[in-house]
Amino acid sequence: MLIDSLPACRFLACAALVSSFAYAILPAAASGTFSDEVPELRPAVGLEKQPCAVPDAGYTFTRSIQGVIGEGRDAQTMCVDVLTHEDDLDQQRRLRIYTHGHELLADDNAVMCAGCGGVKGDPFRGLDISHGELRVTNYGGSRTFWGETWVLTLRHGKWILAGWDSWWGDGLGSERTTENVNALVGKVDYGHVPPSTDEDGKLIANGKHPLRYSCVLPAAWRLPPVQWIESIRNSKDWQCPSTNNTAPSSQP
């Protein structure tokens, strides 16, 4: 199932771990418990039903949206579309950004392939533009569910990641983990709710308490280019705490 858009807020986050730059994607009750349900999202504003330009060869049109991306002199009304490979549902989708008919960015990493969501189906959960930023969200899994959001913006003429969020949890239990990164200020918010039951479903006596803390994002991972999405997705070096704060060796 595709959800047209996400709430117009600063970043996606677990509500129990909400910070000054976060908004909820995994709803939390006052007790600190989490839900694996994707929240009901408002209808998209300005959602387009046609591509920004003729689809690239071998691709079909999936979704598009228009809005202002960037800050200061970089801020422009842009058209963003997503293309799906015609013959291979396991190939990453293509994200394209246009303004005045000119392509500014083409990326094959942010939007996951139609077959990448596991039991939950197509992982692509839509596009949202707000506060000069574009958000792309993927969500999937089975009993163990997972999700991610990439926050793209244009700064000083360069496409960068303003931040990213990742989360996973046990759909049949209470265990949840969230990591919310603000790459503009260099902050990582981490949260973990441990399992409340053992493998047999019995309550764990004197179980661990939820863990929540923040740390500084290593300088090497501050304001990374959009081309680093796959490196970030596959690396844990930026996490909090980290034992090897090493960014990709060079920008693509």
Quick one: pLDDT at residue 245? 43
Name beta bridge partners: 188: 181, 215
The pLDDT score that the predictor gives to residue 48 is: 64
Enumerate the β-bridge partners of residue 107: 95
What is residue 49's predicted lDDT score, i.e. its pLDDT? 80
Token pair in block for residue 122? 């197509």
- Position 146 scores a pLDDT of 93
**pLDDT reported for residue 203:** 64
Residue 170 pLDDT: 86
Of 173, 169, 168, whose CA–CA distance to 200 is shortest? Answer: 173
Domain ranges for the chain: 12-234
Within 100-157, strands assigned E span 102-107, 124-130, 133-141, 144-155
pLDDT (0 to 100) of residue 78: 97
| Distance from chain centroid for Cα 93 | 15
Which are the contacts of 229, defined by CB distance < 8 A and separation ≥ 6? 107, 109, 110, 150, 161, 164
pTM recorded for the entire structure: 0.77
Write the CA distances from 144 to 37, 119, 124, 209, 217, integer angstroms: 12, 10, 17, 21, 27
Q: Specify the DSSP class assigned to residue 223.
A: S
pLDDT at 171: 80
- Asked if residue 153 lies in contact with residue 160, where contact means CB atoms within 8 angstroms, the answer is yes
- Residue 95, both tokens: 């994200």
pLDDT in tens, the chain (252 residues): 333 333 333 333 333 332 322 222 332 222 333 334 443 333 444 556 899 999 999 999 999 999 999 989 999 999 999 999 998 989 999 999 999 999 999 999 999 999 999 998 999 998 999 999 999 999 999 988 999 999 999 999 999 999 999 999 988 777 889 999 999 999 999 998 888 766 666 666 556 678 888 999 999 999 999 999 999 999 888 987 643 444 454 443
